[in-house]
Copies of this chain bind each other. A is one copy, B any other.
Amino acid sequence: MKQLHKQSSVNHRRDEEMLIPQTPPYSPKTLKHPRSLPRSINYLFKEQRLLFIFIGILIGSTFFILQPTLSRLAPSETHPSIPRSFSKDEVISHTQDFSVSTKPLHGKPGRVPVGIGRRRMRIVVTGGAGFVGSHLVDKLIGRGDEVIVIDNFFTGRKENVVHLFGNPRFELIRHDVVEPILLEVDQIYHLACPASPVHYKYNPVKTIKTNVMGTLNMLGLAKRVGARFLLTSTSEVYGDPLQHPQKETYWGNVNPIGERSCYDEGKRTAETLTMDYHRGDGVEVRIARIFNTYGPRMCLDDGRVVSNFVAQAIRKQPMTVYGDGKQTRSFQFVSDLVDGLVALMEGEHIGPFNLGNPGEFTMLELAEVVKDTIDPSATIEYKPNTADDPHMRKPDISKAKELLNWEPKIPLREGLPLMVNDFRNRILNEDEGKGS
């Protein structure tokens, strides 16, 4: 009965296949010998022919089912000594400052089978829906890699990556790095952490958890799968520096019990953990200490001076200057930072590396540039300085220049208009949203 049913269904399918060509009226050829159909079926049923067809189907299917698994296994079986094959820069990495990793290269094949297309990497970017993260993702997708973004959308926005939603090499996971996650990847860019004081002070304990447990989880992942790990630390680890400009060897002057400590100490401990995983477990790590960065996709309300001035000038409000406006800041355009992060990840030095623009501007000079760019009639409003005004900081980037061959290229007068365009659109949309 079962067999009968099978046979009839097969017949039915064959009938369909053979009948389909009959439908188009424009091809008379297929109408040849319509009467021979029952005979061919008869033929099929004789001498176990059908059985052999089934065996053939079975063999074919087996091959296609097993093929991806086989080719994934192949490189590590046949070339066990070939190192992970993702970058020509891939060498055991160390600087003079740090003990050399004693472990051999992990000897794992890339996540993508060798021989299928170009050797593409699979890269996680935590915090990839944020300001810096989304620009980094654009660059990695642009050069042909697969990118998985992990974000809890605390300060990140889907709008920052929405243009990648159709791309099969892009994936977005809503996940909090405070919880562990299992993935198979080659590189981890660990950016997840609110960067602006308004955001990181909102829940200081969560900020510490994100920095400490988040970094622990990502280092654990890197260790398990043999991925390379990059931490985005911050110039805040220098605190209120007594050295100017700051070199990477400077230990900093940080208040451990202040309102900003959750960020500063959280990042310092994240650096400690990163080095401990390197020294203790041979994980390949990189540490970037990022200085003030600006550009499109920054949070409108992040409370830092560039976004404040730009948003105020666009909204025709006076720009707020705290104190006398003579305190200085350095500003780096986001594409420069992203280039630096990638150079660091692909290079052979652990760091830490200062990534920032050493050019200094006073608040009043910045206001002038904003005026020139947006609205020459913009005004300035002076307010008394706040108690925890960010400290004067200027990076010494000679280490990155020498070892990573990196330095920022975009001057403020060139980068600011790009940011202004983005802010203008978003503020316009905002206003329209309110109006409707």
Contact = CB atoms under 8 A, between A and B. Distances in A.
Most chain B CB within a 10 A radius of its CB, from A204, A269, A277, A280: A269
A335 interface: no
B251 A251 contact: no
A208 interface: yes
B280 A205 contact: yes
Interface in A181-208: 203-205, 208
A253 B256 contact: no
A274 B279 CA distance: 29
Contact of A273 (B208, B254, B259, B276): B208
A269 B266 CA distance: 7
A399 to B, nearest CB: 14
Contacts of A419: none
A161 interface: no
Contacts of A257: 271-272, 274-275, 287, 352
A261 B278 CA distance: 14
A186 to B, nearest CB: 23
A252 interface: yes
Contacts of A209: 216
A277 B352 contact: no
The oligomer's copy count stands at 2
Contact of A269 (B252, B259, B269, B280): B269
B271 A256 contact: yes
Interface string A99-118: 00000000000000000000
A348 interface: no
B271 A205 contact: no
Interface range for A: 35 or more
B213 A239 contact: no
Contacts of A271: 256-257, 261
Nearest to A204: B276
A269 B212 contact: yes
A251 B272 contact: no
Given A269-B269, A271-B257, A205 B277 contact: yes
Interface string A242-264: 00000000011111111101100
Contacts of A237: 256
A268 interface: yes
Contacts of A146: none
A284 interface: no
Given A205-B277, A259-B279, A265 B254 contact: no
The 4 closest A-B pairs by CB, nearest first: A261-B272, A256-B268, A204-B276, A257-B275
Given A209-B216, A251-B253, A265-B272, 17 more contacts: A204-B272, A204-B279, A205-B273, A205-B277, A208-B212, A208-B216, A208-B269, A208-B273, A212-B213, A237-B256, A239-B251, A251-B256, A252-B254, A256-B269, A256-B272, A261-B268, A265-B269
Interface of A: 203-205, 208-209, 212-213, 216, 237, 239-240, 251-259, 261-262, 265-266, 268-269, 271-277, 279-280, 287, 352
